[in-house]
Amino acid sequence: MIIKFTGNEPPARYYRVGVQGDNGTGCLVFELAAEQGGVSLAEYKPFLKMQTPDLSFADKDGNLEITPDGDGVLRLRYALTRAVTRNRSVDMQLQFEDYSAPGVAVWQTAVFNVSFAPTLPAEGTVADNNPTILQDHEKRIHTLETAPAPVFEAQSRFGFPAVGAAGIVYIDRDANATYRFDIDTGVYYVIGSDYNDIKTINANGGTD
């Protein structure tokens, strides 16, 4: 997610980023003018200050990847760690510090909040609260696994089952012919063949 500041103000105060408990796959990119009221932020050390609303977590992290500001824009990339994302909501603030002058010069952005979507353990919550969903899923898998193959091949038509099934293509490899079984008449009908004189095959044997 990219957050572009105007001065020290972010475009919004609240952001939803990634999933709670995520580790290192998400990141925040901050963009702001390198010059702020006569202050050159490129000469300052950037930090990201973080704190949960209930004060159970607080950190000041200086591990921000800085992109050169040739276009007058300072870009900072921060990789979200598990220590951060394990919290549901975190208040954040960029702080730039200069130690070259006597004392410490500090420039800060306004505070903004980042929250993370909760995870949903599939084998726990879903199974307990939605048992019919899993039962239907397992039923459909069983149907697919036990359903007859859509294509039945035999060396010749005499290898076809006495009673076929609808929706299956039967292939006679010797004759290079394909058939379908009509469940109403009990007859195999040619649907593709190199032999025009063979029209149908009776399930009990013989041709018509």
Shared domain for 94 and 190, answered yes or no, is no
Q: Provide the pLDDT confidence category of residue 195 given band limits of 50, 70 and 90.
A: very low
Per residue in 90-142, pLDDT (tens digit) is 999 999 988 776 667 889 999 999 998 876 555 555 555 555 666 666 676 66
Query: Can you list the alpha helix ranges (DSSP code H) found in 4-99?
Result: 82-85
Q: 155: exposed, middle or buried (C-beta count within 10 Å: 0-12, 13-18, 19+)?
A: exposed
Shared domain for 38 and 92, answered yes or no, is yes
Shared domain for 110 and 177, answered yes or no, is no
Per residue in 158-168, pLDDT (tens digit) is 999 888 888 78
| Structural domain of 198 | 151-202
Quote the pTM value: 0.55
Distance CA 181, CA 201 (A): 9
DSSP assignment letter at 68:
P
pLDDT at 54 over 80: yes
Instruction: Confirm if 111 and 93 have CB atoms less than 8 A apart.
Output: yes
In a domain, 131, yes or no: no
pLDDT at 194 over 70: no
In a domain, 79, yes or no: yes
